[in-house]
Amino acid sequence: MAFFATKEPRLLSLLLAIGFFVVAASAGNFYESFDITWGDGRANILENGQLLTCTLDKTSGSGFQSKKEYLFGKIDMKLKLVAGNSAGTVTAYYLSSKGATWDEIDFEFLGNLTGQPYTIHTNVFTGGKGDREMQFHLWFDPTADFHTYTVHWNPINIIFLVDGIPIRVFKNNEKHGVAFPKIQPMKIYSSLWEADDWATQGGRVKIDWSNAPFSASYRNFNDQSSCSRTSNSTWVSCDANNNSWMWTTLTPHQYGQMKWVQDDYMIYNYCTDYKRFPQGLPKECNKLE
């Protein structure tokens, strides 16, 4: 049994109490890693478990969830988004716990008219509270090929990456009174669904059902750098000393990459929305360390 070193003693106590286990990961095989949970046949696992597709038509969308729960991890998934006129569609890819005070880490891909850019919508929920949206366009066409979308979640920060390039960091600022997700286990969820009341240009552009069925595709799932469990009866902890990803933050080069993305491709940042927060921006917006 391998335990966390004294580098984070309070975290050690938490994880021992929760009892998480590093289970053998099976990167890329959707049969082993996920269950299709809804859609009545509109989601399918193909190519001997190497490809998963979700479709949306006028009757229903579709979705799936991970077999395992995670408490910290570097989670990679390759997605190819709905092509053509995807207005009104949302492809969601996120981690979430359950209950009224859930935690959640979100990627949502908001469709658009043919030739117009997708919007990547990101958010972090703690204790059932979100309102931490940042939105981006992309520097490539996400419908033409597969691209890797990563959530790197550890006790220090949550890093959102696209093809290995960081676009956003949510730091652990608990010492300043900012809640950070570190106790509740989360499953991975993904779905393709209709949200034309808000998804495209604030709901002004509606879904065109003549283009249905819409389809999104997934490959190369990788959770090998993660702490996870398959049942509540598992009581073995992670070994932080052998898991460098547990203590990863951005390098100066990565901060430069993130600045490029945020300068050139960010279209909304809740930390600059003074109209939304007339009583003052959230604490984490004040560059706390």
Residue entry with tokens 């959102």 = 160
Q: Are 223 and 25 in contact (CB under 8 A)?
A: yes
Other Cβ atoms closer than 10 A to 273: 13
Indicate which residue of 8, 32, 104, 289 is catalytic: 104
The identity of residue 158, as a single letter, is I
Q: Which of 32, 69, 108, 174 is catalytic?
A: 108
Judge if the upstream peptide bond of residue 213 is cis by omega within 30 degrees of 0: yes
Structure tokens at 45: 């696992």
Structure tokens of 179?
């809640």
CB 118 within 8 A of CB 164: no
In 3D space, the residue among 91, 51, 83 whose CA is nearest the CA of residue 199 turns out to be: 91
238 to 2, 16, 103, 212, 245: CA distances (angstroms): 7, 9, 20, 45, 12
Asked if residue 99 lies in contact with residue 109, where contact means CB atoms within 8 angstroms, the answer is no
Residue 104 annotated to the active site: yes
Q: Which of 22, 65, 9 is nearest to 245 (CA)?
A: 22
Q: What are phi and psi of 277, to 5 degrees?
A: -125, 70
Residue 69 falls in the annotated catalytic set: no
Give the span between the Cα atoms of 123 and 167, in whole angstroms: 12
Q: Which residues are catalytic?
A: 104, 108
